[in-house]
Amino acid sequence: MSVWDPNTLLAAAKADHPAGIRMSKQLTKTSIRKVLISAVMLVTALCLSLSISISTYLDVKEQRQLIINKIEMIADIISFNSQITILFDDRKTEDARLKSFQHVDIIKNIHIYAIDDVTNKPVFFTSYNASRTPPVPLKVNQIDELLTPRVSEDHIELVRPVIYEGNIEGYVYVRGGLERLSNYINQKILVDIALTLFVLVLVLLVSRGIQKRIATPIEGLSTLLQDVSKNHNYNARAPGSHIAELNVLANNLNIMLARTENQLERHKADKQEIKQLNQSLEEKVNQRTIALREANQELLNALERMHQYQNQIIENEKMASLGQMVAGVAHEVNTPIGLGITGSTLLRDKLSDINDAFQSKSLTSKQLERFIGDGIENLDLIYRNLNRAAELVSSFKRLAVSQDLEVNSKIELSNLLTEVVASLRAEIATKQPEISIHCDKGLEIESKAGPLQQVLEQLISNSLLHGFKDQQNNIINITVTSSSEHLKLEYFDNGGGVPKAIKKRIFDPFVTTRRGEGGSGLGMHLVYNLVTQALGGSIALDEECKKGAKFIITLPLSGNVQ
């Protein structure tokens, strides 16, 4: 049964996290009144600023566009009215007409240009300058630029063509001022500032009233909790509130205080129960300890029996492996010996027939000639099979790799690979593979040269015997790379590859795809023994290689060869 005491939990928390308690004391203190007023004022100010900024921007943009439209309309009117005066070169009439714009305060300067009949370029015709406005330079070189209104900080410029019956007879340049827009912006800013201050004062008064309604009940709850914490007065209860959330908080606080009081009442009863449980627990622990000791003894006995069974299984596997080896040796050796016996028996029968004919004096030259031919054939058969048996015995002897016959020495791998390929030149010529050696010059390894040379010779011989079918497009790649501790040798040929049926058994003895065709099935087993025992490394067939065969040999760089 679990029991807890709030005072105990608080003390434990302080003991476990003294740094956290000190950190909480160092935090900056503030009141909910300040937080509430600051938050309301900040949000209100941001919203007002954003709203007024967007409104002012859109209003100013609209007023500016209205002024531009008005100046464009005035320019179009001037362009239309100046058609006749330009055609008849009537400057006085046009000057009198332009003076009427003195009552339009946004118009500051007007230029009218006519098209010269000789140069076909715009030339000055007449102009208008508002009161207290200095004249502006001629814009005959900027007409194309000003066809689109150009707005600066304090004025607007634009040009409109004077078109009569589809022909351009001249241009009208109008320059308008933006003083009215600037005055409008200044007035709007002042109004916006006054409105903002009024709203902020109003929000301040409202927020102070709200925070008073919220902060007062919270302060009452805080006082209650302080009393409970100091005096352990768990009988106290929080009063209700007119704010729903604070009322829910007060109800939950009352529930917690009631439960705490109940827990404290049960605490005394639980202590007695815990003592009884501890006593009974000690008795159970003693009983379980005795039972566990007995179980451990039984496990030790079972483990000893398991070791005996394991040793027996290992011995059985050794005998099974030895039996398989003996059966393989017997199968491989019996074939050539049986053929030799057959040949010698046949030769003996032939010799007996010749002897009978000789004794009866009926021996003919043809019989003697046939006997000589059959004898040579039988002797060749006997020789070949006895030689085959001798090679098998030699292979069996090589399987028992003696690591004491050769000591480690420095081997320059690039030279060793070149020498191996050169020594097999006669065999390589039968299938004419293209051999590529990728090995850094000067790369050395401390190992045994003889076994390593045997491994490479056997791999190349396997490729020539089993991998390549003819003399075309045959490739052998030997790649050597090194790391800090190991040397990696990758041997690849693009021949027929290793059949899927024997991939898992490629390094077992007497596994071959050329049974009866000269293959004994001991080559890759010899390679495996040389690499793992004599050279202290590892060899694996890359089963992911889709075309050809790829063997990966890993050797220690120095000092790890057994």
501: its two tokens: 């049926």
212 assigned to some structural domain? yes
Torsion of CA 488, 493, 499, 505, to 10 degrees: -30
The amino acid sitting at 349 is: D
The amino acid sitting at 351 is: L
Helix axes 179-231, 244-359, angle to 10 degrees: 90
Mean pLDDT in residue range 551-562 = 72
Can you give the pLDDT at residue 411?
Answer: 86
Q: Which of 499, 537, 535, 525 is nearest to 325 (CA)?
A: 525
Percent helix, strand and coil across the chain, each rounded to 5? 60, 15, 25
Q: Phi, psi at residue 155, to the nearest 5°?
A: -155, 170
Q: pLDDT band at residue 17, thresholds of 50, 70 and 90?
A: very low
| Contact between 149 and 72 (Cβ < 8 Å) | yes
Residue 137 has pLDDT above 80, yes or no: yes
Can you give the pLDDT at residue 553?
Answer: 93
CATH of the domain at 103: 3.30.450.220
350 assigned to some structural domain? no
Q: Which residue has the tokens 């089963």?
A: 543
Can you give the pLDDT at residue 396?
Answer: 60
**375 vs 554: which has the higher pLDDT:** 554
| Contact between 125 and 86 (Cβ < 8 Å) | yes
**377 vs 555: which has the higher pLDDT:** 555
Which of 386-400, 428-442, 493-507 comes out lowest in average pLDDT?
A: 386-400
| Contact between 469 and 496 (Cβ < 8 Å) | yes
Can you give the pLDDT at residue 205?
Answer: 81
Helix (H) or strand (E) holding 540: strand 538-541
475 assigned to some structural domain? yes
Can you give the pLDDT at residue 190?
Answer: 86
- Of 233, 260, 276, which marks where a domain is finished? 233
Query: Model-level pTM greater than 0.75?
Result: no
**Angle 93-94-99 from CA coordinates, rounded to 5°:** 100
Q: Which of 162, 137, 160 is nearest to 147 (CA)?
A: 160
Q: What is the C-alpha separation between 267 and 251, in angstroms, rounded?
A: 24
Can you give the pLDDT at residue 1?
Answer: 40
532 assigned to some structural domain? yes
| Contact between 201 and 41 (Cβ < 8 Å) | no
- Of 203, 233, 263, which marks where a domain is finished? 233
130 assigned to some structural domain? yes
CATH of the domain at 422: 3.30.565.10
Can you give the pLDDT at residue 491?
Answer: 93
Residue 108 has pLDDT above 70, yes or no: yes
375 assigned to some structural domain? no
The amino acid sitting at 346 is: L
Can you give the pLDDT at residue 21?
Answer: 45
| Contact between 74 and 105 (Cβ < 8 Å) | no
The amino acid sitting at 327 is: A
List of E strands, 165-295: 167-177
245: its two tokens: 């959330």
- Of 206, 233, 260, which marks where a domain is finished? 233
469 assigned to some structural domain? yes
Q: Which of 492, 496, 439 is nearest to 466 (CA)?
A: 496
Q: CA-CA distances (angstroms) from residue 449 to 478, 486, 529?
A: 17, 17, 15
Residue 135 has pLDDT above 70, yes or no: yes
Mean pLDDT in residue range 119-125 = 89
Can you give the pLDDT at residue 2?
Answer: 42
Can you give the pLDDT at residue 161?
Answer: 93
| Contact between 107 and 101 (Cβ < 8 Å) | yes
Q: What is the C-alpha separation between 207 and 49, in angstroms, rounded?
A: 19
Helix (H, G, I), strand (E, B), or coil: what is residue 462? helix
Residue 390 has pLDDT above 80, yes or no: no
Can you give the pLDDT at residue 26?
Answer: 53
pLDDT digits (tens, 9 = 90+) for 253-269: 888 878 887 887 888 78
**539 vs 309: which has the higher pLDDT:** 539
Q: CA-CA distances (angstroms) from residue 516 to 287, 430, 499?
A: 72, 20, 17
Q: What is the C-alpha separation between 264 and 235, in angstroms, rounded?
A: 12
Regarding beta strands 475-482 and 434-438, do their DSSP bridges make them parallel or antiparallel, or are they unpaired? parallel
Mean pLDDT in residue range 383-394 = 72
Can you give the pLDDT at residue 191?
Answer: 85
Q: pLDDT band at residue 493, thresholds of 50, 70 and 90?
A: very high
Question: Could you list the residue range(s) of the whole structural domain that residue 493 is in?
Answer: 405-556
Can you give the pLDDT at residue 355?
Answer: 84
Q: What is the C-alpha separation between 176 and 157, in angstroms, rounded?
A: 6
Q: What is the C-alpha separation between 428 and 418, in angstroms, rounded?
A: 13
Mean pLDDT of the chain: 79
What's the DSSP call for residue 138?
Answer: -
Q: pLDDT band at residue 173, thresholds of 50, 70 and 90?
A: very high
How many structural domains does the chain have? 2
Contacts of 419 (CB under 8 A, 6+ apart): 453
User: Is 66 exposed, middle or buried (CB count within 10 Å of its CB: 0-12, 13-18, 19+)?
Assistant: exposed
Q: What is the C-alpha separation between 186 and 180, in angstroms, rounded?
A: 10
Q: pLDDT band at residue 9, thresholds of 50, 70 and 90?
A: very low
The amino acid sitting at 542 is: D
Q: Which residue has the tokens 């007695």?
A: 272
User: From edge to edge, which strands make up the β-sheet containing 486-493?
Assistant: 434-438, 475-482, 486-493, 549-556, 538-541
Can you give the pLDDT at residue 329?
Answer: 64
Q: pLDDT band at residue 89, thresholds of 50, 70 and 90?
A: confident
384: left (phi over 0), alpha (psi -120 to 50) or beta: alpha
Q: Look at the alpha carbons of 87, 91, 92, 95 in this order and tell me if their dihedral is positive or negative.
A: positive
Mean pLDDT in residue range 460-483 = 87
| Contact between 530 and 553 (Cβ < 8 Å) | no
Helix (H, G, I), strand (E, B), or coil: what is residue 519? coil
349 assigned to some structural domain? no
Can you give the pLDDT at residue 171?
Answer: 92
Q: pLDDT band at residue 345, thresholds of 50, 70 and 90?
A: confident
